[in-house]
Amino acid sequence: LQSCVQLVLLPVYLLAYLGLWDALYKKVFPYIMARLAPGYNRKVHKQKQELFSNLGQFAGPAGQLRLLEIGTGTGTNFQFYPAGCRLTCTDPNPNFGQFLRKSLSENSHVQLERSLVASGENLQEIAAGSVDVVVCTLVLCSVSSVERVLREVLRVLRLGGAFYFLEHVAADQSSWTYFWQKVCDPAWKCFGDGCSLSRETQKELEKAKFSELNLRRIHVPLRFVPATPHIIGYAVK
């Protein structure tokens, strides 16, 4: 079945080979996310509210929170951040800019310091130990290397800082959900900007050198999409 999906995707693979697909889709993808993200956010609103409720505990000595968000996208997490936090946004896709500005205008309680076009694997413009909290939601499924992203997260976090995450992950390998994740993965990666349905992100988090890992599994009710298994939590440097 997976091979059949790949056969159907041959025109997309051809466009990718010619270097046309990536340039085109990166312009379209932000509009797709702008339509889909609010609906997803409603489904996980309670979980996000609970997850981010203790962000203030990681504020620096002056009481101000320096927060870095990796893969900010349309800015759907801004509403959950504490007032006055100093925010740095990063995303490898510059076409999210107009949606980011819209979210900032709707969430005046956050203070944007910088917005960088950068991937999570390479945050060289951010100094080591310069942030209190790093946030990453629905991003680790799409990066080329989860290990490199987590290495960068640990580098930019101050000692005692925290990494907050919410990610869809691979289902149990004996389940029908996992079966359909593997079948749909080729199409999902093409139309989800590199997103993988069957990534075992929790294993990478467990291997990373955090001093404390608070992680739990949740089920997000997504219709007709085999991305219901999620992990949520935070890790302390």
Q: What is the pLDDT of residue 76?
A: 95
pLDDT per residue as tens digits for the range 56-75: 999 987 788 999 999 999 99
pLDDT per residue as tens digits for the range 70-94: 999 999 999 999 998 999 999 999 9
Mean pLDDT of all residues belonging to the chain: 94
Q: Are 81 and 52 in contact (CB under 8 A)?
A: yes
- For the entire predicted model, the pTM comes to 0.93
**Domain span holding position 10:** 1-236
CA distances from 92 to 121, 130, 139, 155, 206 (A): 10, 21, 11, 19, 26
Sign of CA dihedral 116, 203, 170, 215: negative
Total domain count, the chain: 1
Three-class SS state of 68: strand
Strand partners, 66: 86
Q: What is the pLDDT of residue 37?
A: 92
- pLDDT category at 205 given cuts 50, 70, 90 is very high
Q: How far apart are CA 121 and CA 111, in angstroms?
A: 25
Q: What is the mean pLDDT of residues 201-222?
A: 95
| CATH code, 49 | 3.40.50.150
